[in-house]
Amino acid sequence: MTMRKGFVIWLTGMSGAGKSTTGQLLEQRLRAAGVTQVEVLDGDAVRTQLCKGLGYSKEDRDENVRRIGFVCELLARNGVAVIVAAISPYRAARDAVRARVETFIEVHVDCSLAVLVERDVKGLYKKALSGEIAHFTGVSDPYEAPLAAEVVIDSASESPEESLDKIWSALTGRGLVLKGLAPNYRPAPLIDLHSHTNESDGTFSPAELIAEAQRVGVRTLAITDHDTFAGYDQAVQFSMEAGVHLICGIELSTKWNGTSVHLLGYFFDQTKMTGFRKWILELQTSRKDRNRRLIERLREVGVNITMEEVDARGRGMTGRPHFARVLMDKGYVSSIQQAFDVYLADSGKAYVDRMEPPFAEAVRMIRDAGGITSIAHPVRWNGDFAGALPALCKTGLHAIEAYHSDHSSEQREHFLFLAKQHGLRVTGGSDFHGAVKPGIQLGTGREENVCVPAEVLLAFPQG
């Protein structure tokens, strides 16, 4: 398809209404329809790259919109379809952009304050309503809704696809895309909130993981390496260049009633991360101590490998998968799975325990860093997971990872039911590790059994 001219689709609405998610879905549909020149200007990324240093006064907010508008004008003039996802609270500033762009489609992403408060797992709206946060749009600072937006969508009552269809109708009605092209298109799985790089126990470098996300169509990706942000930190620049929305995440090993439980953390407030990162360094020390004891135990059962051999594969964040690779390379086992079954799993003859933080402490540390918490792959829970949930919820748990490569469709539905029953959100992802788990693909899991719906993102602070 040949695009006749560039245009700007401006998604405006309050924080958490769903602008970013809608923008990502719209980008996917445009590209599927043959529109190759598409750029997304997301409010958070723009503030980091284009508008760094601006505050939240009316003047600074207007300047933020003016700069975005200038970029939009240049791109649209050169035939690019531009999607903007920004709060842009003041009507006059938005209208000023409209005046300088030939084809401007304003989309009001509406959502009631009550729903926004319910979605806001970080509690920012509640803090603003109680006066703890100043200059919060829609509470202590105004949000001026459009008076005559070309499209109005309600993310509280409409599905993302219903909202997308409204925008698509506006585009076809103006001849910006041709009617009949991809009217029934639904994006392929494009959200993966559980993946690993070679900075923990994956085999893809951060750059390679972002390239893989771009290749398979994952548009929103969380890197959740074990006990480290090294992979995420390296991937930030690559993700911006590739157009992949990257979420800061981590996977922690914790203890609950003597059992190891994996806990995911997401959506951290970067201004509150100093203490959490220091705490993570302490966990890394515990990991190194466990590895030393594991080497000693392996020698006791007749396996001669060195810490240097294992660390060469672990890049400073050595874990049991790296031990497994050495065992396979030296001929002690024929596969990574056999290495775990015989030596490394909880029932293996060389297993050694690791000092892991209590589950409640890990939840508290993530929350203090502005993040949200989700129990990883609950199908692996040792014991009565449903029976433990009331106590887990009392620790401040936010969510359950209902979508995972290890879950059958029946198990997924069961975890979705439990989440609803206990007032929890859900998360999901492939748990991609690369060559270590060759049957699991990024974005789609094992034999395409993972498809994280856009509604999952709408429950969290995505704009």
The catalytic residue positions are 88
Residue of 393, 375, 388, 385 whose CA lies nearest to 429: 375
- Residue 222 DSSP symbol: E
Would you give the distance in Å from CA 160 to the centre of its chain? 17
Q: Is 235 helix (H, G, I), strand (E, B) or coil?
A: helix
**Residue 221, strand partner residues:** 192, 246
Would you give the distance in Å from CA 112 to the centre of its chain? 24
Q: Could you give the C-alpha distances from 456 to 185, 243, 442, 451, 453, in angstroms and in order?
A: 20, 20, 17, 11, 6
DSSP of 375-419: ES-GGG-SS-HHHHHHHHHHTT--EEEEEETT--HHHHHHHHHHH
DSSP of 261-277: EEEEEES--GGG-HHHH
Strands in 245-256's sheet, in edge-to-edge order, are 191-192, 220-223, 245-256, 259-266, 372-375, 399-404, 425-429
Under 8 Å between Cβ of 23 and 41: no
**Residue 372, strand partner residues:** 266
Strands in 38-42's sheet, in edge-to-edge order, are 38-42, 81-85, 7-12, 104-110, 151-154
Paired sense of beta strands 425-429 and 440-441, if any: unpaired
End-to-end CA distance of the chain: 31
Under 8 Å between Cβ of 427 and 402: yes
Q: How far apart are CA 242 and CA 219, in angstroms?
A: 9
Q: How many CB atoms lie within 10 A of CB 360?
A: 17
Q: How far apart are CA 156 and CA 114, in angstroms?
A: 10
- How would you class 410 by CB atoms within 10 Å of its CB: exposed for 0-12, middle for 13-18, buried for 19 or more? exposed
Q: How many CB atoms lie within 10 A of CB 259?
A: 14
Q: How many CB atoms lie within 10 A of CB 324?
A: 25
